[in-house]
Structure 1
């Protein structure tokens, strides 16, 4: 029997909407991987009994590095949308001013939560995995809802925009 995964299928990227969905799929996938790694680390710490070296008391360098990379990618993505995509959409669809403003507010809220998660990672040796999981879950919940909301507004608008863009006509 074939196994199934929650991994998104690779998609052919022909439009800016396709590219947006590809990036959003990657962000969702990374959220799942990071959550699973942090939860596994927490479980290993809780299960350790007896002699020998226990798992590292903090979150572990690998989890920290992956989380930092994810947070950098998220910031890059949202900055690109705020500075390039949203203004271009607004130029052609002024009727979307309010939804785009709401999406920008959601970007700022995600950045605030991302900064809280990053603050927990400042001291990898003492960050409590349970505290990290709580903050990470808050970020993941907000980000997942944001991605869904953003796709509802932007995918139809970006579906006619070729990607990569061709030379100006």
Structure 2
């Protein structure tokens, strides 16, 4: 099925694309959490000579952190200013979401620090950071979707595309 495109080439339904981006990020975070559990099991087996070296958790963490940062940076510099211009009543919502982005950034830095030396990863601390990140993102994504999807879908075509407004190509 072809994606509907406006005459100027903009893909329609930016709000729906936001939901797709959030779904993909949720799936990546869940995979990361599962990898952490698998890493613990694989590391025990590897140390006992019963298995292969554990998969590289660090690379997946850094890729996820980068994707989430790119998305939030895109929103902060693209979608949020566009929405604030078109819908001034959303400014308090946008400010709250930007505050969430700052908190998420702090957690991502902690995650990156924890996986900097993969051989010394503390699974308990990393698990705690990922659990906190998961809880915050679930709340953040749900609130953002509830408050912004309709407004994003109503943005004029000249406002931009998913990459310029949401930090990543739509899914």
What TM-score does the superposition give when structure 2 sets the normalisation length?
0.79
1:52 to 45, 49, 52: 49
* Equivalent position of 1:8 in the other structure: none
* Equivalent position of 2:142 in the other structure: 148
SS in structure 1 opposite 2:118?
A: coil
**What is the distance in 2 between the residues matched to 1:62 and 1:97?**
41
* Equivalent position of 2:14 in the other structure: 16
1:14 deviation in Å? 2.9
Structure with the bigger percentage of helix:
2
Q: Specify every segment of 5 or more residues in structure 2 that has no aligned partner in the other structure, as ranges.
A: 5-10, 163-171
Number of aligned pairs?
A: 151
Deviations 1:113-152 (A, max 9, x none): 1110011011111112222111111111111111111111
1:89 to 60, 83, 107: 83
1:66 deviation in Å? 1.0
Deviations 1:55-104 (A, max 9, x none): 65xxx552211110110011110001001110000001111111110000
**What is the distance in 1 between the residues matched to 2:67 and 2:46?**
38
* Equivalent position of 2:104 in the other structure: 110
SS in structure 2 opposite 1:125?
A: helix
* Equivalent position of 1:132 in the other structure: 126
Q: Is contact 1:120-1:127 (8 Å) kept?
A: yes
Q: Cα RMSD over matched residues? A: 2.4
Q: Is contact 2:84-2:91 (8 Å) kept?
A: yes
Alpha carbons of 1:68 and 1:50: their partners in 2 closer, same or farther (altered >3 Å)?
closer
What TM-score does the superposition give when structure 1 sets the normalisation length?
0.79
1:41 to 15, 39, 42: 39
